[in-house]
Structure 1
């Protein structure tokens, strides 16, 4: 067993939200017990003890929408005139990048991204992958890296019509093969979803194929929905329906499905999302960076929709995404009352609900019986930290770089900012080499 104690404990458990002197007892991959440091050390003597030294102990963070491969765009120059809208950003950057990805690029983008996640206290990642000229085996390569590093993940491949018929069939097969593999995996460290790019790159024939292949698979879709206005315009002009309405027609909206963004939706579509218990994931930094508009996340939450928080590949730091979720809606709605509570609900409550739909046990919470995904944050408050003030301390005082220790599934992956049994320097050196070759191909 491992004891992690002598820390200010934020549990994200409403029944026991905060302990000034908390200690967690980890037995294999679950939390065995919680109490004061003195009591736990007395009750469980002679076990490994990690002294948090008055730092903050809290649950590992969950990212409910990520693009691992996008990490290889960091620092890359894009030739030609600057993109004027989201459609041009896709064509000039992301679709040029993903077409050049080989399995080795996918592997090392997974290494570098998952390492950043671990260092930022993110212990579970829902990823949405694309590599149209290297589809077969791509999800298995990403999973091999996740397994090696010890991070929890849920993967899918984005099916799209934009690269032709062969890639459609390959994308569908990669999803189905990986979903079945993950369902047979007993570790509960990996899950699979059925990935779709977006309605404007999917024909009716392809959506029908996907629906047929989904029959009998106990999982959901992971799809971008109404992110840019062009998605809405395309579907209205070519199908006579709005984005969410069209996805509804093919059975995409349902329990376990993640509809990402949902920016350009109307009240009828919002009702469809609610009535089908579809998850929505908000990615505020990406939306601002792509200038696609502000998500109606506040309205969606008021309607009772489970809205989670992701990064869309923009960052691996969920604290950063939370900070922006707090302020973007204040700015957009000209209302200083919104964002603070809603952002925390998305990250700490709803990401946990999304993860619970896939993984067998509780994540994102510190309580007896939950999976031992725990982080220690190097943060010392200079004002009172209590169960009533902890939200302000998290938003305004913490960041991913403050994470000192990361434990996933009961295993210590990072301690004192040093990765355990992971040669970060060697991996990142190889990553720079691989990404440079990728840039040259582009």
Structure 2
């Protein structure tokens, strides 16, 4: 009998996972408490921008011409429990208000809502990013609440998705990590992931705690690497060196590698910032807080990049923002996404506006989300419109569209040709040749 799968939580992670499971050939039921989101997904529309996800969804959502019909959505936990053999928990674990620790309320609620309806053996699989030790606690709670008792098993299978590449990362991940306590749980997940396993994707089986730590450790390492090169950018500015050349030289060392050595405005989004903070908080609870004290400096370096960009912009405005117009290119925390959570670009834009400048923001996909979160900023429908009359242009999200801008065309609409490249990806010589003053973090002026 072919397994049937439910996916609890249909946000960025859940919607992508549900569509991918349907692509693998399974009958899938997505569950969410938000009826508007369920209605949107049922209509074949994605509530966020993620390349390739809309097409994959339409390929499988029931009721659409030409679809496989393998994917449906519901707001009923009882229906999901009765439907699925394997239940994936894909809900959010945001940072707790006023604390570093993760808010586990959504995960706890998912277990509490599903478990009382599990009347036959089932496997519940956590994909959410959680503090180490959570799975063991949740496994006990699941068995206590489920009518089938310990026949309702728990496994932990962390996600490693990159926004902008989530579909391919789900269909062909670089590894599959499974924290399981029984051979049955392992075998069920081998069946779920049979397609990528057959394609050679490593399948790693661990205990609960190790599976939970893999995600926390991976994000902490990536954040550390980004902050390291940004710390080097600070030294480069002081010494008159060029951090982009330094990054290239370091990247040729295979022990270091070139990826995530791009100096600039730093990281944001819904994962790295809150995950390293939650990791620090959990280490403190375990009595191992000294092991992660370096992450405080990683976080601090990252936030300093935003302040430094504001300082550079103020310098380019002659020492003050009053009466100055600033164009900000970028609102999403990274390209190929409309996610503005902890966006460095919007953080910089808001700081500059608070100091008296008129700020206009343009982003290819994230303007609508930005307008809801920062309604006091002005928004444009194009880079040219945003730059009209600007005294300084800030490039803060590295969309391909911005790398392809014509310096002469943009220069024709600005008040002054001053460009701050917050992502170190524009060709400085091309912009300078067109009469622009080009500055970037960690590079000579």
Give the TM-score taking structure 1 as reference length: 0.29
Larger Rg: 2
Flag the structure with more relative contact order, 1 or 2, with Cα contacts below 8 A and sequence separation at least 6: 1
Question: By percentage of residues, which structure has more strand?
Answer: 1
Give the TM-score taking structure 2 as reference length: 0.29
